[in-house]
Structure 1
Amino acid sequence: MRILTLVGTIIAQFALGSVYTWSLFNAGLADKLNIPVDNVAFSFGILSLSLAVASSISGKLQERFGVTRVTIAAGVMMGAALLLTSHTSNTAMLYLCAGFLLGFADGTGYLMTMSNCVRWFPERKGTISALAIGAYGLGSLGFKYINLALLEHSGLSQTFVFWGVIAAALVIVGGLLMTDAPMQSSNSTQTNSDNDFSLRQAMSRPQFWMLAVIFLTVCMSGLYVIGVAKDIGEQYANLSFAIAANAVAVIAMANLGGRLMLGVLSDKIARIRVVSIALLASIAGIGLLLFTEMTMTNFYIALGCIAFSFGGTITVYPSLVSDFFGLNNLTKNYGAIYLGFGIGSLLGSLIAAAFGGFAATFYVILGLLVLSLLMSLTVKTPQLHTQAA
């Protein structure tokens, strides 16, 4: 039963990861709607925020309706959102359909299915997270070629229709294979389920907020740098368009490598130490951008370090949160922390606008990363029977 759940989770995660091909459609939608590309790209920021909000409430939906029904509903909503996007005629409709609805569908399925799968394998939490979230990352790569082929042969509007049908079908099939994970018994030797915190109990502990700040910082640094990597290469590092554009491939490989390597490593050493390693990698990457001459090699290494850190942290964090606050309420507890993904996706751009450019933003990110590293080295696992500090 848990093997079928794992297979279903991987299938669904692959389809859900397809939203990260959004940049393929920016130019075409800008021409269709006769608006600047930046306005179209902002829909992805809305998507990220909506995804994070949906993730934070998906645990309650699972409790009421079960993982299969909620996953099927997410697949149907994802297909409907993309179908409506194919008929978009103005910016408001674009933000509603491709931003809010698509992000909400994706977030509802993403965190819930992954957390449910992790609870089925308490003895291999890091490895299972790596498989599930690795499938999510591979979805962006696989659908890049699917959507490029569709754009070439079917045009913009029809591509959204076909994308919606394919993604919805995969998510629904995945949902049908899933079963809700059983509650962990208090006498289990493989889990610390006698230390299960409710969301309210978790949020009353300083450790919750320390983990939340660390997660937000890594998401902000990763999403900001990944989102403007080509611009950093051309405008900040003064590299050619070709070199800057190739950064996409470097980021994809480093991101996937971080997910797989740090995910597996987190089953062998303390997960908070894995997060410390990820933070050191990101600090090294930002340091290269700030304090070294921007050659092609240094540029690629810097982006690789940041993408490796981001991918690895995203993978390890669900299991890390379960180490701190238990498995049984993982979806709700991690869902609240996962709001940092949506906030971080916007915060980097806001900091860049407020402080004026790449270098100032990198200094802010570096300071937050150092603070997060110190917190990762000092935070201790809370005990449920102790009073909140």
Structure 2
Amino acid sequence: MTRYLVLLSAVVMQLCLGATYSWSVYVASLKAVTGISQAGVQLPFSFFYFVFPVTMVFSGSVLTRMGPRFSAMLGGLLFGSGWMMAGLGGYAFAFTVMGIGVIAGVGAGLAYIVPLSTAILWFPKQKGLVTGIAVAGFGGGAAIVSQVGGALMTHMGKTPFQVFPILGAVFLVLITLAGTVMKTPENDNKNIDEPEKNKGVSFSWMLAQPMFRILYFAMFSGLAAGFAVNANLKELHTASGVQAGVFAVSLFALANALGRISWGAFFDRVTPATAVKANLLCQAFFLILGALFLGSKTGFYLFALGTGFNYGGILVLYASSTALCWGDKRMGAIYGFLFSANIPAAVAPMAAGWIFEIGGSFYPAFIAIGVLLVVSIFLIPATFKSS
């Protein structure tokens, strides 16, 4: 039963860590309260998706040295504290940027890798499905948080700066409690052969491998697509009203969670190349044809569902591909390097915001990202090899 308890705790952790995906719910209110521009209020979101992956680069070594329980609990303390600090943004928006963007980003970076690497060790024969389940909460949590945050602001009259500390306290308690359950199988070290156990992993070593470079570019393209849509989703069809925007954010988040499980199961049943290419192609379809979808409320909801579902596959397919190419035992360290694709991708929401402010449309940004997705499809080889 231990492995199922680990998996359940992993989902709880990810439910909390995915809260930043609900950011677009707060954008309009933050703009009204602070007077900051569309691009400016995206700073906490963009900082988070810069600090988060940077921390992931180092979190693998912390996980190896200190163990999954320590990494998870420390990450939970920082993540929850960061959201609580963000409540001080009413005095200076820099507190919100520092709290959610930096402190919570470090916390997420330390905690996020734990459920992935730990779950794969407990379920080595179902890499895709288990990884999908473990991180499904990262997308599904945003659906819950967006509804709670939206209700607190709409029905209780609270500002985002009053909502952030409430959510932060809940995150701190839940993540740290779930983190106490995190551990690897007792016979794990006995199953590691000496060559694999002692082989060093460095960023320069990874960059020397063509497969890593290809996966990095493809993951960057997929992340940029998801970030650009998610962070600006509520603004894509303002004619439908505020509630429609909040509902679309929830649809994106729920589809994100479902996509993680579905794409993970798909990965286990086809070749890795087929799974990754299919995901890239489906996302390119929605972005390039975005103008057709966003012309109506129904199309707006379909756009949120489709892009959310495809984006959900990104953080499953590439984690599973990493374990397949370089081994389960080194997945934690190596995936941290691959996850750094979030750093350049974090610019996408702000870039899309700037394009919108200049031309009044998000379509040029979506089409440009769609082209990157198509290019990635042609770069993916038929067979995944580590070197």
The TM-score with structure 1 as length reference comes to 0.85
- Once residues 351 and 23 of structure 1 are traced to their aligned partners in structure 2, the CA distance between those partners, rounded to angstroms, is 13
Counterpart in the other structure of 1:167 = 171
After superposing the two structures, state which structure 1 stretch, 13-22 or 331-340, moved more: 13-22
Report the residue type matching 1:207 in the other structure.
Answer: M
Quote how far apart the aligned CAs of 1:31 are: 5.3
Report the residue type matching 2:322 in the other structure.
Answer: V
Cα 1:150–1:183 shift into 2, 3 Å: farther
After superposing the two structures, state which structure 1 stretch, 121-130 or 349-358, moved more: 349-358
SS of 1:228's equivalent in the other structure is helix
Cα 1:278–1:350 shift into 2, 3 Å: same
The 5 Å alignment of 1:222-241 reads: 222-234=226-238, 240-241=240-241
Tell whether the 8 Å contact from 1:196 to 1:329 is kept in structure 2 after alignment: no
Counterpart in the other structure of 2:256 = 255
Tell whether the 8 Å contact from 2:285 to 2:370 is kept in structure 1 after alignment: no
Tell whether the 8 Å contact from 1:195 to 1:326 is kept in structure 2 after alignment: no
Cα 1:126–1:81 shift into 2, 3 Å: same
Q: Are positions 1:78 and 2:79 aligned together?
A: yes
Quote how far apart the aligned CAs of 1:207 are: 0.7
Counterpart in the other structure of 1:386 = none
Quote how far apart the aligned CAs of 1:101 are: 0.9
Hey, which bits of structure 1, 4+ residues long, moved more than 6 A? 192-197
Q: Are positions 1:375 and 2:379 aligned together?
A: yes
Report the residue type matching 1:139 in the other structure.
Answer: G
Q: Are positions 1:209 and 2:213 aligned together?
A: yes
Tell whether the 8 Å contact from 1:263 to 1:312 is kept in structure 2 after alignment: yes
Report the residue type matching 1:136 in the other structure.
Answer: F
Counterpart in the other structure of 2:107 = 105
Tell whether the 8 Å contact from 2:12 to 2:178 is kept in structure 1 after alignment: yes
- Once residues 9 and 80 of structure 1 are traced to their aligned partners in structure 2, the CA distance between those partners, rounded to angstroms, is 20
Quote how far apart the aligned CAs of 1:48 are: 1.5
- Once residues 65 and 309 of structure 1 are traced to their aligned partners in structure 2, the CA distance between those partners, rounded to angstroms, is 34
Report the residue type matching 1:185 in the other structure.
Answer: N
- Once residues 22 and 289 of structure 1 are traced to their aligned partners in structure 2, the CA distance between those partners, rounded to angstroms, is 21
The 5 Å alignment of 1:267-278 reads: 267-278=268-279
Q: Once the two structures are aligned, what percentage of the paired residues are identical?
A: 22
After superposing the two structures, state which structure 1 stretch, 293-302 or 323-332, moved more: 293-302
Alignment counterpart, residue 135 of structure 2, candidates 106, 125, 133:
133
**Runs of 5+ consecutive residues of structure 2 not aligned to the other structure:** none
- Once residues 378 and 206 of structure 2 are traced to their aligned partners in structure 1, the CA distance between those partners, rounded to angstroms, is 21
Alignment counterpart, residue 143 of structure 1, candidates 125, 142, 145:
145
- Once residues 33 and 298 of structure 1 are traced to their aligned partners in structure 2, the CA distance between those partners, rounded to angstroms, is 32
Report the residue type matching 2:82 in the other structure.
Answer: A
The TM-score with structure 2 as length reference comes to 0.85
After superposing the two structures, state which structure 1 stretch, 44-53 or 89-98, moved more: 89-98
Deviations 1:313-366 (A, max 9, x none): 222221111111222221221111112123213135436747955333233222
- Once residues 310 and 256 of structure 1 are traced to their aligned partners in structure 2, the CA distance between those partners, rounded to angstroms, is 9
Cα 1:51–1:95 shift into 2, 3 Å: same
Measured on the aligned residues, the alpha-carbon RMSD in Å equals: 3.1
Tell whether the 8 Å contact from 2:39 to 2:354 is kept in structure 1 after alignment: no
- Once residues 288 and 121 of structure 2 are traced to their aligned partners in structure 1, the CA distance between those partners, rounded to angstroms, is 37
After superposing the two structures, state which structure 1 stretch, 299-308 or 69-78, moved more: 299-308
Quote how far apart the aligned CAs of 1:85 are: 1.9
Quote how far apart the aligned CAs of 1:212 are: 0.2
